[in-house]
Amino acid sequence: MEEVSLPVESQGDRMEELILTFLTDLISLLAIYFIVNLSLNLELGYVGIPNFGLVLAVTGGAYTVGWLPIRLLMHIYAVDSGLSSDILKNNVLIVTQINHYLQSDPLTGILVFVLTLLVAMCVGGALGVLAAYPAIRLRSDYLAITLLALGEILSIIGRNYEPLVGGVIGIMVPDLWSWLGSIRFLLLPIILLGIAASTVLFLEILSRSPVYRTFRAVRDNEVAAASLGKDIVRVRTSALIIGSMMSGLAGALYASYSCYVGPNVYGRMEWTFLPWLMVIFGGLGNNKGVLLGTSVFIAFRKLIVFYKEAFAFLPFDVVWMEYLLLSLVLLIIVILRPHGLMKEKPGCTLPRDELIKIAQEFSSKN
């Protein structure tokens, strides 16, 4: 039998399409994990809360996307009552019909997207309060174990209560960006990156405020901070709520990007242990280090998946190579650079030039 080969131009177009898909997916994942990892850095790096229940708020944000938009848009577009009587059974037909309406109605898509993100952040914050109430007074070891156990709550509920997000099978959600048409996969990663940049800006502003100094005081020495009148429980609760709101935002963005929500997608490995790995790798308490560590890890993982055929010589499945190499890198970092790629630097509430000027004025008066 003669081999059939594709024309050179077709092969080139196919390669360009693969590279474009790789880059858009890489940028989108980077933006989402930037937000998740920065929330962990806020809790662990700023305040010292070992949040092993990070997946709880992420899942809460994702479940918001799986529950709210489809029901809201069914009401707005008056979807056939015969379909709406069983959302799970008619899920594909309902989502297809809603996407058809959204293609010519960008304003509704944007408004529902913004509303969903706000609700997801509120849900994440509420879950942060729920997690903080029984656990925040515990010491670090017991606090970590308690938060780890709490992180499994929504996963169990999602699997066993089908009306929430379809049970084990999951549920498709409307594509709120379907009105972008063919450029959806080019512009959406940029939008996600813009939201992640806003999160970075928020934390940078926070790191130059008195709140940041309070956070670090509680992290470094709770007894000394309490002796100065700081409410330790309130400070830690506030940090956990803010971090949970950021995690809820990230979960909602991931669900909106993939247009699917299922309990199996939001596991501890992807949304708790990997963020811990990236934050430790980049450097605790350092936003730039977290961004660097996240970029290296996500790019490394995507390259392994993209070029997995090149590792066919391995005597085991290439999927396991990812975990082996990531574990090896983590061990090397912990042994050789325990502070991560970028060590935490002292923060300044004012620009360095102004601090020097104030110091000079003070010394001249004395």
What pLDDT digit, counting tens, does each position of 110-169 carry?
A: 999 999 999 999 999 999 988 887 777 777 777 888 888 888 889 899 999 988 898 889
CA distance 128 to 310: 43
At 246, list the tokens: 């950021």
pLDDT value at 37 more than 80: yes
Per-residue confidence band for 17, with pLDDT thresholds at 50, 70 and 90? confident
The pLDDT, as a whole number, for residue 4 is 46
Mean pLDDT on 43-71:
92
How many C-beta atoms lie closer than 10 Å to residue 301's C-beta?
Answer: 17
The pLDDT, as a whole number, for residue 267 is 87
Tokens 């990997």, residue located = 274
Lowest mean pLDDT among 57-66, 72-81, 111-120, 156-165: 72-81
Tokens 């509920």, residue located = 157
Return the sign of the alpha-carbon dihedral for residues 256, 261, 267, 269. Answer: negative
Lowest mean pLDDT among 132-141, 175-184, 220-229: 132-141
Mean pLDDT on 77-103:
85
Lowest mean pLDDT among 18-27, 153-162, 215-224, 343-352: 343-352
Q: In the chain, pLDDT over 70 holds for what percent of residues?
A: 92
Per-residue confidence band for 1, with pLDDT thresholds at 50, 70 and 90? very low
Lowest mean pLDDT among 271-285, 289-303, 325-339: 325-339
Mean pLDDT on 163-188:
90
Which is more confident, 233 or 343? 233
Angle (deg, nearest 10), helices 54-76 and 106-135: 150
The pLDDT, as a whole number, for residue 9 is 52
Mean pLDDT of all residues belonging to the chain: 85
pLDDT value at 41 more than 90: yes
What 3-state DSSP class applies to 62? Answer: helix
The pLDDT, as a whole number, for residue 6 is 47
The pLDDT, as a whole number, for residue 120 is 96
How many C-beta atoms lie closer than 10 Å to residue 108's C-beta?
Answer: 18
pLDDT value at 350 more than 70: no
pLDDT value at 365 more than 60: yes
The pLDDT, as a whole number, for residue 36 is 96
Which amino acid is located at 261 in the chain? V
Mean pLDDT on 42-58:
91
The pLDDT, as a whole number, for residue 3 is 46
pLDDT tens by residue, 279-324:
988 888 889 999 999 998 898 888 877 777 777 777 777 777 777 8
pLDDT value at 107 more than 50: yes
Which is more confident, 12 or 47? 47
Mean pLDDT on 338-362:
74
Would you say 289 and 200 are in contact if contact means Cβ atoms under 8 Å apart?
no
Task: Render the burial of 207-242: b for 16+ CB within 10 Å, e for the rest.
Answer: beeebbebbbbbbeebeebeeeeeebeebbbbbbbb
Lowest mean pLDDT among 32-36, 139-143, 227-231, 275-279: 139-143
Per-residue confidence band for 336, with pLDDT thresholds at 50, 70 and 90? confident
Tokens 């196919």, residue located = 14
Mean pLDDT on 322-343:
79
Mean pLDDT on 69-88:
83
